[in-house]
A and B are shown apart, each in its own frame.
Chain A
Amino acid sequence: MLRTVNAPLIEARNLRVYFYVKKGALGKRGIVKAVDGVDLVIEEKGIVTLVGESGCGKTTLGKTIAGLLRPTSGEILFRGKSVAKMNKKEYMEYRRSVQIVHQDPYASLNPTKTVFQALSYPLTRWKLVRSRAEAEERVKELLRLVGLTPPEEFMRKYPHQLSGGQRQRVVIARAISVNPSLVVADEPITMIDVSLRLGILDLLLRLREELGTAYLFITHDFGAARYFSAKGGGVIAVMYLGKIVEIGPAEEVIQHPLHPYTKALIDAVPVPDPEISRKKRMPPLRSLDIPSPLNPPPGCKFHTRCPDAMPVCAKKEPPLIEARPGHYVACWLYTK
């Protein structure tokens, strides 16, 4: 089990989420193991950034932790209590405590509702306000918190009158309106203008200072993962085909990656410095494409592409071990 400093807020234990799909005209059944045996701890006020390529299962893991998908097996513990064993009251408390911010701020807001309507609904739904006047006060406070000032003006606007960055701020305000202890932020800056992206990440970090929210930040962008986790003193977890293959303190993972997959990704990513970026070349992977998740390789799922694969890799799945202090990796290269 991973070591933690603060009390664990959310714990995933051997979590698996499978999707049953029909393949081809004959309807042959297949199983996509989107999340396949994940152990993860998010501490109170902690930051975990999940990074991986499309199809690695990072969104599925985020949705399952937020209670939007049911695990196929394994369990999720919220403040030490298994979600599956909660009574209705406890379950509602868990659902309020874990909120999600989706990738697309254009699809996340109802175009026919004003910002006030969007933000006041969860407040009345969770009985956090008793009157319209109270709701207005709280909505104004939320808008100020996310930097949309003057709030009186923004309250009356419809989504189409807002820019992408402003919409995402409204979505964030809605997520924090019910005082969650964890916000799952799934690619929250991918559809935002480049110059405004760090502003959204800074906002999330500031809200953690002010409200004590923990984050599960999901991204495909190593630069954003590093920025968010390093600034917030959190960890980065790298996913590949439903598994966490490496997890550790942000700068550790970026500057001293251990898993051959993480190394390949970090070697490949372009950087805003021509002197450095031009020296980069495709890492010596044995295959460019991710294997089909319907038919993942046995043993270590990366062995078919890994430049350092050994005979054992095709046979047995490597365990996640602590290779350096606080820095875990699932790779036979580091297992004695």
Chain B
Amino acid sequence: MRTAEPIIEIRGLSTVYYSLRGLVKAVDNVSFSVIRGEVLGIVGESGSGKSTLSMSILRVLPLNARIVAGSIMYNGTDLVKLPEQEMKKIRWHKISLVPQAALNALNPTMKIKEHFIETAKYHGIRDKKSIVEKASELLELLRLEPPRVLESYPHELSGGMKQRVLIALALLLDPEVLILDEPTTALDVLTQRAILDLLKDLRKKIDITMIFITHDIAVIADLADRVAVMYAGKIVEIGDVFTVFKSPYHPYTRALIRSIPSIIGSVEEMKPIPGSPPDLVNPPPGCRFHPRCSEKLPICSEKEPPIVEVKPGHMVYCWLYAKR
């Protein structure tokens, strides 16, 4: 079913925030590809740059942020260089985003139906009837009752329903790529499970590529085909979900998996990661994880680690595996 054809190729991407304290290197020289039809999970702690990365792809960054280097190739075009007018034809039409804290993203004074109509209007589609039809189709796909939900105001819907409305809204113009930023974070366990199941069903029914961003590594294990682990603005490991969870190579990935209190595994083996994530205004030299790493070598604090392909398609940025 899946061919290894990349749909998005990111090379050397760096995004910075201009702050009073100095430049914050939120995404620093990041390269990876998104494969057509896959679910790519991006996992990282707060401040690791995962949301900045997703906002960079769509160029919807805050005013004090800028992409300073790198390219984002999509269908032969570099999105970084694309004029804003052209970028508008990509957003929502081709690549769509379900933003973080999405439960507050709906306008409380507008019915759900109007959200769909307004969105379509902004993108130049004015035929209300066909839009409502399309919206109904999508809501049904997400197991909501279209007639009731379309006539509702946001406050009349539960958190799980609002989240599904936002996914439907993101799918309105048949995008090829859907970016979901922490889509299950504020939800209760059962609602989270329902959303995860729906996303799995969705991929069977429509042709879509998903980039799924979360801090919760268990959600990645549940849904993603591949996982990219981010730490302090860098991707430190990327590979197939089953291999990464079974034999994580990067000391950070290992420590992150161990640091999750879960209902499975031995409680005695769960351990926090010592220290805290670095200040990105002034990140540590060399490998950014070295101050917290239990396996660090002298070189780790001097030079940035190289990319090492430890298994086909499984990449690690760590000196432990470099041939020197």
Which residues of A pack against B, CB within 8 Å?
Answer: 53-54, 163-166, 193-199, 201-202, 220-224, 226-228, 230-231, 254, 264-266, 268-278, 280-283, 285, 288-289
Contacts and interface: CB of A to CB of B under 8 A. Distances in A.
A202 B196 contact: no
B199 interface: no
Of all A-B residue pairs in the complex, the 5 with the closest CB atoms, nearest first, are A199-B272, A268-B193, A198-B272, A227-B261, A195-B273
Given A193-B47, A198-B271, 16 more contacts: A53-B190, A195-B272, A195-B276, A199-B272, A199-B274, A223-B262, A227-B270, A264-B190, A268-B190, A269-B189, A270-B193, A270-B216, A271-B263, A271-B264, A272-B264, A273-B245
Contact of B245 (A193, A202, A272, A281): A272
A281 B277 contact: no
A278 B219 CA distance: 10
B260 interface: yes
B260 A194 contact: yes
Interface in B222-263: 222, 241-242, 245, 255-257, 259-263
Contacts of A194: 45, 215-217, 256, 259-260
A272 B276 contact: no
A195 B192 contact: no
A53 B189 contact: yes
Given A197-B272, A227-B261, A288-B160, A278 B222 contact: yes
Contacts of B262: 223, 226, 271-272
Contacts of B259: 194-195, 197-198
Given A193-B45, A277-B218, A277-B221, A272 B257 contact: yes
B60 to A, nearest CB: 25
B267 to A, nearest CB: 5
Contact of A202 (B160, B189, B272): B272
A223 B47 CA distance: 23
Given A195-B255, A285-B190, A226 B218 contact: no
B277 A231 contact: no
A220 B263 CA distance: 13
Given A53-B189, A54-B188, A289 B264 contact: no
B188 A53 contact: yes
Q: Which of B189, B197, B241, B259 has the most CB of A within 10 A?
A: B189
25 contacts: A163-B276, A194-B45, A194-B217, A197-B272, A198-B270, A199-B272, A223-B262, A268-B193, A269-B193, A269-B263, A270-B216, A270-B222, A271-B263, A272-B221, A272-B260, A272-B262, A272-B265, A273-B221, A274-B222, A274-B241, A280-B193, A283-B193, A285-B190, A288-B190, A289-B160
A268 B189 contact: yes
Contacts of B158: 289
Contact of A280 (B217, B222, B260, B270): B222
B31 interface: no
B191 interface: yes
B68 interface: no
Given A193-B276, A195-B277, A288 B267 contact: no
A200 to B, nearest CB: 8
A226 B267 contact: yes
A220 B188 contact: yes
Nearest to B255: A195
B143 to A, nearest CB: 9
A225 B190 CA distance: 17
